[in-house]
Amino acid sequence: MFVDKHFSINASQSILSNPIEYLKGVGPLRADILKKELNIFTFKDLLEHFPFRHVDKTQVQLIREITPQTDQVQVAGRLVSLQVLGENRGKRLVGELRDSSGTMELVWFQGINWVQKSLEIGKEYLVYGKASFFSGYPQITHPEIEAFSPEKSEGKSFLEPVYPTTEKLKQKQLGGRQIGKLTWGLLTALTPADIPENLPDKILQSLNLISRYKAYNDIHFPANFNAYQDALNRLKFEELFMAQLRLNLIKSERHRFSHGVVFKQVGELFNSFYKTCLPFELTGAQKRVLREIRQDTAHGRQMNRLLQGDVGSGKTIVALLSMLLAVDNGFQSCMMAPTEILANQHFAGISELVKDLPVTVRLLTGSTKAKERREVLAALESGELNLIIGTHALLEDPVKFKNIGLAIIDEQHRFGVEQRSKLWRKANIPPHVLVMTATPIPRTLAMTAYGDLDYSVIDELPPGRQPVTTVHRFEQARGSVMDFMKQEIAKGRQAYIIFPLIEESEKINYENLMRGYENVKAFFPEPKYWISMVHGRQPAEQKDTNMQRFITRDTQIMVSTTVIEVGVNVPNASVMVIESSEKFGLSQLHQLRGRVGRGSDKSYCILLTGNKLSSEAKERLKIMTATNDGFKIAEKDMELRGPGDIEGTRQSGMLNFKLASLLQDKQWLDAAKQMAQQILEADPDLSEKANERLKHFLQAQKGKTAWSKIS
Ligand code: ADP
Ligand code: MG
């Protein structure tokens, strides 16, 4: 239905899709470097290699004017000396720059040879960078520097762009300057028809945006800073808006056309579980989410729902009830967990909960023995088995269902397209999918990153939970921390001690953990105390045994690496000590802390650190001790690290904007969302004349949209 001859413009006809080697001044050799170093393959890529700042060559400061309060400066002067000083790690290149008012130092610690070769004593340079003072002298470390010719910079009508570049590029005469020249050449060759408008006039007018053609010109070569700002705004909005439009299209597409199995009724299993087996009253939020799932699955379109709920908010029971709903309607369900420990635990918990019901549950993981595996697989294929719980082993090819109707993915929002398709291949009609995650992503971000999924949230904890008291202690306080653990253990509670995983070395991790374990043992000697230890190097079976001993209270202390991070549920554990907690990220600390405070006892989380803390680490510890609210922590995490790094959003590919930032450009994001919705509500297929530019643009970007399958 989106097929429309009139619009089937072939993107490859546009001059912008020309290979970069065809641009005047590039050629095959430079093209190679541009491709390797900057991922610039086409004219369009060059056009979208945006400057990160502009230089106003008329704004040159005098060296005398630099004060300790000065931040960035631009000065012009003669290089009067250049020499290498110091040795080994103190080795540096120091230049002296003199203007009419005074002298300053330029310092390089890296690339000394190359810089030395490229500069010439006696020549004039334009220098830019962060000013600092060293023994009374102003200086700039690793300045941006280029030859200065005052006569040339006069009379220019634009600010000069400064582009990201690399040492390699500079050495091949492709520094920021040369890239600017290439871009200038390209822009002069382009006409407005080559950069056609893609936003409807109505939007341009209502938001006061400049045209696309002007924006591409002005973002590189603006006449002044206002012109630059206008260009930036226009392009940021375009990015956000097109992303919103795409997501909304994919979603509505899915809603209108996806085929799903129908769960007609709420049946016997669901009802009798609800009435007789449910050990507690559901929270309002749990009920609401169940209603949403019920709605989704009743109407013949496929559910693709993301369920977010803070640690301990009770997602498992929602999952179980949904699976029973599927069984009531004659379908099988599976539940997939990220680790064997967690799969085992889900299996044990769920088997116990449904033990009085006529429903069959089995477990399948990487360490399921061959004979049992055969049985499980056969029962699954024959339909004798209703529910299966497991790890990624469930996605493997030999796993065949008679009729899978619902798949639940626990604790991983990173359930990519590829995995999804593996699941889909297991049925004629793709099963409903519920992805559950406790890594809270701020709502706005979730809606943007996962805009193509439906979204539910459990924003209420079960009643009676006491917030976990969190404190920060320095290493010196270890003795009193251990004493505190003893008091809690004397009350019949259990405790976790967590050691960090250092990414670089499994060996070091292992050694740290072993040392830590010996240390803990010295504080808690047998036979008064028993300790379980779980880590990544253990065979699954041993992990499981150790975990089981802790669950059954055979041991009072669990020493572990972060393998227990997700999902593990031992309500009697009321103390968590996190070693070297400055090494953990915020969301990980929050996940770990979620392992305590699951029962009705008062719980504690103790963050141990060394004495040297970076300001970011201090900030993290401050937040952890101040709040238990996962969403607040996620917001903060995003602030500290930027959205690109938030667990799970990176892969979504929806957040990789070139210019826009979801944090800083919130008003543009809101505008983009609102406009995208308005437009699609009025014209879901973008078939109206007023929207033809949009349709045209999106169709030219095939592959990025769900439209690839239709147009
Ligand atoms: P998560 O959302 O982190 O997966 P779980 O599903 O493991 O949380 O639930 C945490 C604990 O809370 C479990 O012990 C569970 O039995 C309990 N629980 C869940 N829902 C409720 C409720 N409505 N009332 C009381 N306890 C609940
Ligand atoms: Mg869970």
Nearest ligand for residue 411 CA? 2
For ligand 1, the distance from its centroid to the CA atom of residue 467, given in whole angstroms, is 15
> Three-state SS for 82?
strand
> Can you give the pLDDT at residue 168?
77
How many Cα neighbours within 13 Å face the side chain of 34? Answer: 30
* Ligand 2 centroid to residue 293 C-alpha, Å: 18
In contact, 485 and 562? CB cutoff 8 Å: no
Whose atoms come closest to the Cα of 314: which ligand?
1
Q: Are strands 92-98 and 72-85 parallel, antiparallel or unpaired?
A: antiparallel
CA of 560 to the centre of ligand 2 (A): 19
Question: Which regions in the chain score pLDDT beneath 50?
Answer: 1-12, 152-155, 644-653, 704-711
**Which residue's C-alpha comes closest to atom 16 of ligand 1?**
314
| Amino acid at the residue 654 | M
3-state secondary structure of 533: strand
pLDDT of residue 457: 87
Q: How many A from CA of 410 to the centre of ligand 1?
A: 14
**Probe target for ligand 1 pocket from 316, 439, 570, 590, with the most ligand atoms within 8 Å of CB:** 316
- Give residue for tokens 């006529």: 358
Task: Give pLDDT, residue 702.
Answer: 57
pLDDT, tens digit, 9 for 90 and up, residues 316-340: 999 999 999 999 999 999 999 988 8
User: H helices within 389-491, ranges in order?
Assistant: 417-424, 443-449, 478-490
CA distance 461 to 486: 29
Ligand with the closest atom to the CA of 320: 1
Q: How far apart are CA 446 and CA 413, in angstroms?
A: 11
Q: Which of 277, 278, 280, 437 is the pocket-test mutation for ligand 1 (most atoms within 8 Å of CB)?
A: 280
Tokens for 174? 């492709």
Instruction: Give the nearest ligand 1 atom to 286 CA.
Output: 23
pLDDT digits (tens, 9 = 90+) for 561-570: 876 655 678 8
What span, in angstroms and rounded, lies between the C-alpha atoms of 327 and 265?
Answer: 10
476: exposed, middle or buried (Cβ count in 10 Å: 0-12, 13-18, 19+): exposed
Ligand nearest to the backbone CA of 600: 1
Q: Which ligand 1 atom minimizes the distance to the CA of 315?
A: 2
297-300-303-309 Cα dihedral, nearest 10 degrees: -20
What residues are in contact with ligand 1 under a 6 Å CB criterion?
Answer: 280, 282-283, 286, 309, 311-317, 438, 462, 567, 569, 571, 598
Q: What are the structure tokens assigned to 40, written together?
A: 């610039």
Residue 250 CA, distance from chain mean position: 21
Q: What pLDDT is stored for residue 1 in this prediction?
A: 31
First to last CA, the chain: 8
Residue 41: per-residue pLDDT = 94
- Which pairs with CB-CB distance under 8 Å and at least 24 residues apart come from 639-647? 639/663, 640/586, 640/616, 641/585, 643/445, 646/441, 646/445, 646/587, 647/413, 647/414, 647/439, 647/587
